[in-house]
Amino acid sequence: MSSTSYTIIGGEKPNITPHTIPWTLLVLNRGRTALQTSQMGFAEIISIESSSLRRHEAVPHVKTLITDTAVNPGEQINIGISAASYPFVAVIWNDMQLKTLFSPQFISEVEDSGVVCSVPMLYSRHGDLIPSIPTPASSMRTVKTIPMTAIETGTRALYPFDYAGIYNKKLFLHAGGYDNDINSSFWQKMDFGFRNWLWGEKIVLNASLRIYYTCDFQQDDQTIDQGYRRFYLHNLAVRIKDNLAYLPKTGVFSYIFRSGEGPMVALSEYKEAASWIDQNSTRFMQSGRTLVERWNQRPEEQ
């Protein structure tokens, strides 16, 4: 999933008690906010940093993974979840604070949900509920997302807002994790979300999971770039016939014309995507167009 090399320091095992949360906490780092010590009730804590951007001193009982080079958030999560010792991984940033009662009932609810990711209700540092449930909507030839607020467990989310959530390690790895080759956070999350929904996995809200920002957060940059083109080819351009997914050969001409790249680059991108889709042709349960059209329908209408 990732060829990035890293060094591990620290990580002495904490004392496991009946109150220990039997999951891994994975902390992504940005800015200089210190790790919240109130979040130390997990059986394992992993913090990911790069050797060129070390921000913090080692923290007792925290396993720090130091990558040799700076990598995008999705690849950090791929590395961290692959290294996790436990089957469920709570992913947060160092400028977030968990305010959740990890009761046996809550833990069982998440573990029995069968979803690839349970996403939280997110609050600003002032305590305001943030619209953080992405909903897809058609927009001319592409897809846009509308962030909604929701308070009902089970509400579908297109992808984990700001990557935060509790991931099922087995399902996450089976679906291929985040695409390392997409550096735009927005299109990386869109690709992860679409792929999981198209392949029959689910990403849903758990209203008991609450996370607060400790500082202001940045909105995603949705600029159309190489990341969008890769997302488009792997998701929106896919067609399905006789339960097999494929990339139409005739679509290459339109793609070359609209990609904004030279013909050889565009052709190479199209061929790579077509090969990837062929390798995963039986995993697609629906097309991206169908997913968007059916998103807001009630189950009995589908």
Where are the alpha helices (H) located in 112-212, listed in sequence order? 169-174, 185-198
Cα separations (Å) of 216 from 72, 95, 130, 254? 20, 9, 12, 41
Residue 96's φ and ψ, nearest 5 degrees, are -115, 155
Distance of alpha carbon 157 from its chain centroid, rounded? 11
Give percent of the chain with pLDDT exceeding 70.
92
Question: What is the pLDDT at residue 140?
Answer: 60
Question: What is the pLDDT at residue 144?
Answer: 85
Q: Exposed (0-12), middle (13-18) or buried (19+): which is 264, by Cβ within 10 Å?
A: exposed
156/118 Cα distance (integer angstroms): 10
60/39 Cα distance (integer angstroms): 13
214/40 Cα distance (integer angstroms): 17
Q: Is residue 63 scored above 70 in pLDDT?
A: yes
Query: Tokens for 258?
Result: 């609209």
Question: What is the pLDDT at residue 95?
Answer: 93
Cα separations (Å) of 194 from 79, 112, 248? 21, 22, 19
268/210 Cα distance (integer angstroms): 43
Helix (H) or strand (E) holding 206: strand 203-213
Helix (H) or strand (E) holding 277: helix 263-279
Convert the pLDDT of each residue in 170-226 to its tens digit. 999 999 999 999 999 999 999 999 999 999 999 999 999 999 999 988 888 888 889
What domains can you pick out in the chain, each with its CATH number?
6-213 (3.90.550.10), 226-301 (no CATH)
Question: What is the pLDDT at residue 36?
Answer: 65
Question: What is the pLDDT at residue 300?
Answer: 46
Query: Tokens for 166?
Result: 């509790």
Convert the pLDDT of each residue in 109-149 to its tens digit. 999 999 999 999 999 999 999 999 999 987 666 788 999 99
Cα separations (Å) of 238 from 159, 248, 273, 278? 19, 8, 10, 10
Question: What is the pLDDT at residue 57?
Answer: 61
Convert the pLDDT of each residue in 2-61 to its tens digit. 778 999 898 777 778 888 999 999 999 998 776 665 567 999 999 999 876 665 566 778
Task: Note the pTM of the prediction, 2 decimals.
Answer: 0.94
267/272 Cα distance (integer angstroms): 9
8/109 Cα distance (integer angstroms): 32
Question: What is the pLDDT at residue 298?
Answer: 55
User: Do strands 244-246 and 142-148 pair parallel, antiparallel, or not at all (unpaired)?
Assistant: unpaired
